[in-house]
Amino acid sequence: MGTASALSASMVLVVEKPEMLEKLRTQPALAECFLTHMLSRSIRMEEDLIDQLFNASEKRLARTLLLLARYGQGDYPHRLPKLSQETLAEMVGTTRSRVNVFMNKFRDLGFIDDNGIIKVNRSLLTVVLHDS
Q: Are residues 110 and 47 in the same domain?
A: no
CA 63 to chain centre: 8
Residue ranges of E strands in the chain: 112-114, 118-120
Q: Are residues 50 and 82 in the same domain?
A: no
Q: How far apart are CA 95 and CA 132, in angstroms?
A: 20
Let me know if 21 is exposed, middle or buried by CB neighbors in 10 A (0-12, 13-18, 19+). exposed
Per the structure, the complete domain to which residue 95 belongs is given by 56-132
Q: What is the pLDDT of residues 104-131, one digit of tens each?
A: 999 999 898 887 788 888 888 888 777 6
Q: What is the pLDDT of residues 38-66, one digit of tens each?
A: 999 999 889 888 877 777 889 999 988 98
Q: What CATH number does residue 122 fall under?
A: 1.10.10.10
The whole-number average pLDDT for the span 4-28 is 90
pTM for the predicted model, two decimal places? 0.66
Domain for residue 34, yes or no? yes
Q: Are residues 47 and 60 in the same domain?
A: no
Phi, psi of 20, deg, nearest 5: -65, -45
